């Protein structure tokens, strides 16, 4: 195929993209600097909503970083050539998002300067401490995996390395779910359903992120995705979205009927103001129904609509996490069951939270980091999926 656009023009766009990404990252860093100087008072977080927008971004990035590796796992562990060709790109995306998510998490700390303390002191009973270990191990595992794939001599090792990554990411996503599962006193969390729910959600979100990256790269290189591969990947994504939705439904139903947390469920699903709105419109309608329609409707399902579906799934992921993390904290703790409670510290009252610009900028900075690493990685190293002839 003749390449009509002059190379120089493309180079320019590349630098423009890098500059734009860099700017977003700089804004994020500036926000972190402001937060460090003024304290968290300039965020919307407070003593009731202690985790806010940065955590929504960070957890999305980290969970998707694990999920995107689905593509490589299917390739190496289950030996599917169409996926194998995409494994390096999946690995790169994973490292990029992990880096972005962890940076946000770290810069949101009250004392980011003490990150060394977090790495050198390890409280073995803390899930959070395990996660610090799991996240850094994940970097190493994926880097090793990438190396075995890209270095010819190391190719024979790529299968065991793939297996290591496969197992590691399961543990990692489980660990992320367990962070919340351990919060037994909070009605929104503290259920054993969370780890599997996070695993399945990670698959769906990771797949969506992969699709967005892949479509952009193909567009850029003026390549067309093999319709067969496209069909298989989109069907898998559809199944994953349905599976994730199943878990979310199970989570709410368990709360309703078994744990008898009807008050909390009413709040999140019906009368909690912004939270039910985001849940039903952002998560359910835009994040599930619409993408499924785009994927499965016979008249649709072409690459454009799959790209839109992927973007919507990502939006749905953010909506879900916003409701889960922030809505979950906004609902008051039940310290005195059976009593109506008031105090100067927000006991018995719905927590107020208004995300502020700095914390959104910080979160976006994390996305910017992921974007930059991916863009530069794809350009400098060869991460474009090469279809093996006859990929079926």
Partner 1 sequence: MSDTNEMSNTSEQRRQFLKTSVGAAAVAIAPGMLMFDMAHGKTEAVSGKVRWGMLINTANCEDCDECVKACNKENGLSGGLSPTDSQWIRKVELKDMRTERSLALPMMCQHCAEPPCVDVCPTGASFKRADGIVLVDKHICIGCRYCMMACPYKARSFVHEPLHDQKPDVPRGKGVVESCTMCVQRIDKGLQPACAEACPNKSILFGNLNDPGSEISIKMRTEASTQVRADLGLDTGLRYQGI
Q: Shortest CA distance to 313 belongs to which of 290, 297, 279? A: 290
- DSSP for 202-223, written as a single string: HHHHHHHHHHHHHHHHHHHTT-
Instruction: Please report, as residue ranges, which positions from 207 to 246 form the binding site for partner 1 (by CB under 8 A).
Output: none
Over the window 94 to 113, marking each residue x when it contacts partner 1 by CB under 8 A and - when it does not, the resulting string is: ---------------xxxx-
Report if residue 182 touches partner 1, rule: CB under 8 A. yes
Looking at 141-149, 180-188, 246-254, 256-264, which segment touches partner 1 (CB under 8 A)? 180-188
Rounded distance between C-alpha atoms, residue 376 and residue 372, angstroms = 6
Angle between helices 127-150 and 158-181 (to 10 degrees): 160
Report if residue 132 touches partner 1, rule: CB under 8 A. yes
Among 258, 345, 389, 390, binds partner 1 (CB under 8 A): 345
- Cα separations in angstroms, 355 against 45, 51, 95: 7, 11, 27
Report if residue 259 touches partner 1, rule: CB under 8 A. no
Report if residue 191 touches partner 1, rule: CB under 8 A. no
Report if residue 40 touches partner 1, rule: CB under 8 A. yes
Task: Judge whether 368 and 24 are in contact, CB under 8 Å.
Answer: yes
Report if residue 121 touches partner 1, rule: CB under 8 A. yes
Q: What is the DSSP letter of 350?
A: P
Instruction: Please report, as residue ranges, which positions from 287 to 316 form the binding site for partner 1 (by CB under 8 A).
Output: none
Shortest CB 41 distance to partner 1, Å: 4
Among 10, 12, 38, 223, binds partner 1 (CB under 8 A): 38
Report if residue 9 touches partner 1, rule: CB under 8 A. no
Task: Judge whether 187 and 331 are in contact, CB under 8 Å.
Answer: yes
Rounded distance between C-alpha atoms, residue 208 and residue 194, angstroms = 21
Report if residue 46 touches partner 1, rule: CB under 8 A. yes
Of the pair 22, 348, the CB lying nearest partner 1 is at: 348
Report if residue 263 touches partner 1, rule: CB under 8 A. no
Looking at 2-10, 21-29, 119-127, 310-318, which segment touches partner 1 (CB under 8 A)? 119-127
Instruction: Please report, as residue ranges, which positions from 350 to 379 form the binding site for partner 1 (by CB under 8 A).
Output: 351-352
- Cα separations in angstroms, 130 against 83, 104, 135, 145, 321: 31, 18, 9, 22, 22
Task: Judge whether 212 and 233 are in contact, CB under 8 Å.
Answer: no
Of the pair 188, 313, the CB lying nearest partner 1 is at: 188
CB neighbour burial string for 330-367, b if at least 16 within 10 angstroms, e if fewer: bbbebeeeeeeeeeeebeeeebebebbebbbbbbbbbb
Task: Judge whether 366 and 29 are in contact, CB under 8 Å.
Answer: no
Shortest CB 353 distance to partner 1, Å: 9
End-to-end alpha carbon distance in the chain: 23
Q: How far is CA 179 from the centre of its chain?
A: 15
Report if residue 274 touches partner 1, rule: CB under 8 A. no
Of the pair 128, 228, the CB lying nearest partner 1 is at: 128
Shortest CB 25 distance to partner 1, Å: 22
Report if residue 126 touches partner 1, rule: CB under 8 A. yes
Q: Which residues bind partner 1 (CB under 8 A)?
A: 36, 38-41, 45-48, 50-51, 109-112, 114-115, 117-118, 121-129, 132, 179, 182-186, 329, 333, 335-347, 351-352
């Amino acid at each position: 195929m003749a390449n009509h656009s002059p190379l120089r023009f493309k180079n320019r766009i590349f630098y423009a993209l890098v500059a734009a990404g860099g700017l977003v990252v700089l804004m994020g860093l500036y926000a972190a600097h402001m937060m460090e100087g003024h304290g968290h008072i300039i965020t919307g977080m407070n003593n009731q909503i202690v985790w806010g927008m940065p955590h929504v971004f960070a957890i999305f990035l980290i969970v998707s970083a694990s999920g995107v590796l689905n593509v490589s796992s299917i390739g190496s562990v289950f030996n599917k050539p169409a996926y194998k060709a995409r494994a390096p790109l999946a690995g790169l995306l994973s490292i990029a998002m992990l880096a972005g998510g962890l940076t946000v998490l770290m810069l949101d700390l009250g004392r980011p300067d003490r990150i060394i303390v977090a790495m050198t002191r390890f409280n073995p009973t803390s899930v959070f401490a395990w996660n610090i270990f799991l996240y850094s191990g994940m970097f190493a595992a994926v880097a090793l995996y990438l190396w075995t794939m890209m270095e010819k001599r190391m190719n024979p090792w790529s299968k065991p390395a793939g297996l290591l990554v496969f197992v590691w990411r399961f543990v990692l996503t489980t660990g992320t779910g367990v962070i919340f599962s351990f919060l037994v006193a909070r009605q929104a969390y503290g259920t054993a359903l969370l780890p599997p729910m996070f695993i399945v959600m990670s698959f769906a979100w990771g797949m969506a992120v992969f699709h967005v990256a892949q479509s952009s790269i193909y567009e850029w290189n003026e390549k067309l995705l093999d319709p067969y591969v496209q069909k298989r990947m989109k069907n898998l994504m559809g199944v994953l979205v349905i599976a994730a939705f199943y878990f979310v439904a199970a989570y709410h139903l368990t709360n309703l009927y078994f744990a008898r947390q009807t008050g909390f469920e009413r709040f999140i699903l019906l009368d909690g103001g912004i939270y039910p709105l985001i849940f039903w419109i952002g998560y359910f309608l835009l994040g599930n129904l619409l993408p499924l329609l785009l994927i499965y409707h016979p008249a649709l399902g072409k690459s454009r609509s799959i790209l839109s579906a992927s973007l919507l799934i990502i939006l749905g992921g953010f909506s879900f996490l916003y409701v889960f993390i922030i809505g979950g904290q906004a609902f008051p703790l039940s310290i005195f069951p059976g009593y109506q409670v008031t105090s100067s510290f927000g006991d018995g009252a719905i927590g107020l939270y208004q995300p502020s610009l700095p914390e959104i900028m910080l979160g976006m900075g994390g996305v910017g980091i992921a974007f930059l690493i991916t863009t530069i990685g794809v350009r400098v190293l060869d991460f474009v999926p090469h279809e093996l002839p006859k990929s079926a």
